[in-house]
Amino acid sequence: MINVKQSKAKKVKMAERAAAQMDIHFPDYPEVLVWRRGSNNGFTTLPRSLPIAMQAVDALTKGKPAGHTLFCLWARSPDHPLIVIENQATFAGEAGFTGARAVDTWRRRMKILKQHRFIDTKPGTSGEFHYVLLLNPNVAVENMRQQKIIQDELYGRFIDRVAEIGASADLSSAKDYWLAEEKKKLPEKAKAKTKSPGGSGSKPKKVSIT
């Protein structure tokens, strides 16, 4: 709860500082040309670390960048983690894919995002990616770190940004979750080991003496 209060206070302070700087550098700027979240329609909430997450997935998939595909999903989200995709061609077009194979290219990028836990999906009437669940990109990048598939320089910038925006708890919570999940698997692994040939619980083989 303290973290939430601190985060809200920080946002207010940042907004007040920005407003003061705008009065100095852009006084009396025409409001019709300025984007205001409180008065302009057509917005959603994005993680502030998303640009670095996009870089991370692009660096991992050189030649087949999926970062912009991820951004387009977030831009389409209804301020809710679940997106229902009725027309895949629309999403493929917004992601910049054109031509007869646009949707196939988009699907390949979606598979990359799912593989690295930026999204989860369920099939529906439009195909494999009808229901798309947007996962926490901070956790996805940390998962890449656990697998040692992200560059040190990029991960270092990610850690700095996460700390700056007050989202470090996302990473510690994810690590606690993964540890708990691993502990749940231990009894099953031990059980499987005793049942396997040569395990401590296996029956000795009969030896015939001639």
- Ordered by where they begin, the domains of the chain are 48-168 (1.10.10)
The whole-number pLDDT of residue 191 equals: 72
Nearest partner of 127 among 145, 151, 146, 110, judged by Cα:
110
CB environment 6-39: b (16+ within 10 A), e (fewer): eeeeeeeeeeeeeeeeeeeeeeeeeeeeeeeeee
Given a cut of 50, the residues of the chain with pLDDT beneath it are: 1-2, 204, 207-210
The whole-number pLDDT of residue 199 equals: 55
Tokens linked to 18 = 């920005």
The Cα 53–Cα 70 span in angstroms is 9
Tens-digit pLDDT profile for residues 94-132:
999 999 999 999 999 999 999 999 999 999 999 999 999
Residues ≥6 apart with Cβ < 8 Å to 155: 56, 141, 145
pTM of the model: 0.83
Altogether, the residues listed in the chain come to a count of: 210
The whole-number pLDDT of residue 207 equals: 47
The Cα 133–Cα 131 span in angstroms is 7
